[in-house]
Amino acid sequence: MRTLTLFNHAGGVMKSSLTRDVGYTLAAAGQRVLLVDLDPQANLTDWLGVTGVTRDQTVYDTATRGDALPSPVHVHGLDLIPSDVSLALAEGQMMGVVGAHLHLRQALAAWSDRYDAVLIDSPPSLGQLSILGALAADHLIVPVPTRQKGMNALAGLAEAMATYRKLRPDLTVALYVPTLFDARRSHDREALTALRGLLHPLASPIADRGAVWNDSASAGQPVGVYAPGSPVHRDVLRVTAEIAQAAGLNVQIEEAPA
Ligand SMILES: Nc1ncnc2c1ncn2[C@@H]1O[C@H](COP(=O)(O)OP(=O)(O)OP(=O)(O)O)[C@@H](O)[C@H]1O
Ligand SMILES: [Mg+2]
């Protein structure tokens, strides 16, 4: 089992979109996949069409008390531990509990025979739930938009990584993923060139194509279901193959027909 956490404290960089669509693509290719939604915004949960979540279905008791994980929800061929806004209360509870940041890693270890890949979606912060997700990972996957906002986040990311490595010296970034790339904008092209010099390993960029992503989110469907064969779907297949290779997952991702 490989555990990958989509991590960046900057908001709106495609963490949840990639968790959903890379997870779906791995599951469609035959991997046993678990997704964990650690964000009280619950975008990942919503965008898979899962509603009516209660706190006991979330990681709340695992995070705050070290309990076993709750039974996942089955959706679109994968398993999901969903989120709900009530998960926000875990932040305060965790602060008083020694070792709480390792609870998710410990709980997932008990499920290592059940899944090939676990993908964790983290909130846009450096708070308790983000630390919980980062320390549960074998590898981090870090989406970085090809914008000033992406560049601005890099110093904070490096600082957070240095702190987390004190507790988990083996924690690495398997792949940085340039996102929301618009090749028509010179600003984006310059930012991509800068990222190529700064971040290793760096995936090929994911194009800024808002409409399909937003519509698939509204439909509660991965783009592989909502718009198979679309340019967005081709981006998803390509980045999934790159992530799988970087993380050492034993899976073959077929390209979509051109
Ligand atoms: N390739 C894309 N092109 C344009 N827009 C996209 C693309 N992928 C995702 N989006 C949209 O960009 C927004 C931000 O994406 P997303 O919510 O996945 O980022 P996030 O990092 O999880 O955000 P947050 O930090 O708030 O959790 C969403 O509205 C999503 O639908
Ligand atoms: Mg998100």
Structural domains in the chain plus CATH codes: 2-247 (3.40.50.300)
Rounded to 10 deg, the angle between the 210-219 and 231-247 helix axes is 80
DSSP 8-class letter at 206: P
| Residues within 5 Å of ion ligand 2, judged at the Cβ atom | 15-16, 43
Regarding the beta carbon of 217 and ligand 1, being less than 6 Å apart is answered: yes
Ligand 1 center–CA 179 separation, angstroms: 9
- Which residue, among 45, 41, 53, 42, has the nearest Cα to 23 in the 3D structure? 45
The owner of tokens 């010099």 is 197
Return the ligand 1 atom nearest residue 12 CA. 23
Ligand 1 center–CA 43 separation, angstroms: 9
Ligand number, closest to the Cα atom of 235: 1
Ligand 1, atom 14: nearest CA belongs to which residue?
12
Q: How far apart are CA 127 and CA 198, in angstroms?
A: 25
Ligand 1 binding pocket mutation candidate from 6, 14, 230 (most atoms within 8 A of CB): 14
- Which residue, among 2, 13, 6, has the nearest Cα to 145 in the 3D structure? 13
pLDDT tens digits for 50-104?
999 999 999 999 999 999 999 999 999 999 999 999 999 999 999 989 999 999 9
pLDDT, mean over the chain: 96
pLDDT tens digits for 219-233?
999 999 999 999 999
Ligand 1 binding pocket mutation candidate from 16, 24, 35 (most atoms within 8 A of CB): 16
Cβ atoms of residues 36 and 104 within 8 Å = yes
pLDDT for 258 beyond 80: no
Q: How far apart are CA 107 and CA 50, in angstroms?
A: 23
* Helices of type H across 113-185: 128-136, 148-167
Q: How far apart are CA 140 and CA 7, in angstroms?
A: 6
Return the ligand 1 atom nearest residue 235 CA. 1
pLDDT for 30 beyond 80: yes
Question: Model-level pTM?
Answer: 0.97
Ligand 1, atom 4: nearest CA belongs to which residue?
210
pLDDT tens digits for 169-185?
999 999 999 999 999 99
pLDDT tens digits for 130-157?
999 999 999 999 999 999 999 999 999 9
